[in-house]
Amino acid sequence: MSRSAASRANRRGEPPPSPEPLPAPAPDSHTHLDIVLGERPADGEHGEWAAEEAVDAEIAAAEAVGIPRLVQVGVDVASSRWSAELAARHPNVLAAVALHPNEAGEGRATEEALAEIDRLAALPRVRAVGETGLDRYRTGPEGWAAQEQSFRAHIRIAKRHGVALVIHDRDAHEEIFRVLEDEGAPERTVFHCFSGDPVFAKACVERGYVLSFAGTLTFGNAGYLREAAVITPVGQLLVETDSPFLTPVPHRGRPNASRLVPHTVRALAEVTGVELTELCHALTATAERVFGSWHEK
């Protein structure tokens, strides 16, 4: 996700209405509230972030449908700082901080920027480094070396602070594995918005990685994702929005929000055959194993 993608998302309008609440709480393991709620300043620029009242209302809307645990994810220095600050003041939110692979591919993973991510990763409510990884779709070959260098730096930051690693993997499955095996993956590693087939899912599961499924699971052309979910043990599953992107059916094409997670959870229950309440409990347990307790300061 880049700043240009964020701008496009913000012009699509408001997210659709909330669905029926879940029978038990479940998490949104990856959201971008700063983008859901409007334009945000880029690094080094001045601008207005969303008002606290708007942020709190969005979090409350998610809680009202059974999503009381959110992981707010940074993609550059500015949004990572904002994510850490939100998590510090809001009990429903934990933070992940990083420089997105596309940011790195454009030369923004400077020593100063990485040092700031390292500083933020030490904060008590920052529980993951990410989203980091490799993107061979939006970044051309000229940026791949910079992406990999940044990815390696983020892996080391996550391990140094003992927090989870949240991976962005787009058209780079084997390259991601190569870097993880070379660096040594953190104990808790999550493939955000899992996009692989069952063969890749099996390889991830065997390595102990957690697979997080987004609204793409509900898309008609995503049978391979549903097959991947079926072979993933319930203890290695998470759900997410990646909001405001990847809105689940029946609202595909409109902006996503954490309050829409129930659509994906219900789809995952149907696909895996796990009873809905049981699945909600399992997803919460996995989120707390990966990110720690939301109740800890």
pLDDT in tens, 24-74: 999 999 999 998 887 565 554 545 667 788 899 999 999 999 999 999 999
Q: What is the pLDDT of residue 168?
A: 98
CA proximity to 280, closest of 234, 246, 249: 234
Backbone angles phi, psi at 228, to 5 degrees: -65, -40
Check: CB of residue 234 under 8 Å from CB of residue 252: no
| Residue 32 marked as a ligand binder | yes
Q: What is the pLDDT of residue 63?
A: 98
**Which CB contacts under 8 angstroms, 24+ apart, belong to 34-39?**
34/72, 34/79, 34/82, 34/83, 35/1, 35/6, 35/9, 35/10, 35/243, 35/244, 36/243, 36/244, 36/255, 36/256, 36/257, 36/258, 38/10, 39/6, 39/7, 39/10
Q: What is the pLDDT of residue 41?
A: 57
- CB neighbours of residue 92 within 10 Å: 19
| Residue 168 marked as a ligand binder | yes
Q: What is the pLDDT of residue 40?
A: 62
| Residue 131 marked as a ligand binder | yes
CA distances for 67 relative to 58, 102, 217, angstroms = 11, 29, 18
| Residue 118 marked as a ligand binder | no
Q: What is the pLDDT of residue 73?
A: 98
Q: What is the pLDDT of residue 81?
A: 96
CA proximity to 78, closest of 176, 157, 3, 155: 3
Question: Of 3.10.105.10, 3.40.50.1100, 3.20.20.140, 1.10.357.10, which CATH number belongs to 27-291?
Answer: 3.20.20.140
Check: CB of residue 244 under 8 Å from CB of residue 32: yes
Backbone angles phi, psi at 129, to 5 degrees: -105, 120
Exposed/middle/buried for 192, CB within 10 Å: 0-12, 13-18, 19+?
A: buried
The neighbouring-strand residues paired with 26 are none
Could you list the mean pLDDT of each consecutive 10-residue stretch along the chain, which spans 297 residues? 44 80 98 82 57 91 98 96 96 98 95 98 98 93 95 98 98 97 98 98 98 98 98 98 96 95 98 98 98 92
| Residue 30 marked as a ligand binder | yes
Please name the helix (run of DSSP H) or strand (run of DSSP E) that holds residue 164, with its range, or none. strand 164-170
Q: List strands edge to edge, sheet with 164-170.
A: 27-31, 69-73, 93-97, 126-135, 164-170, 189-191, 210-213, 237-239
pTM for this structure?
A: 0.93
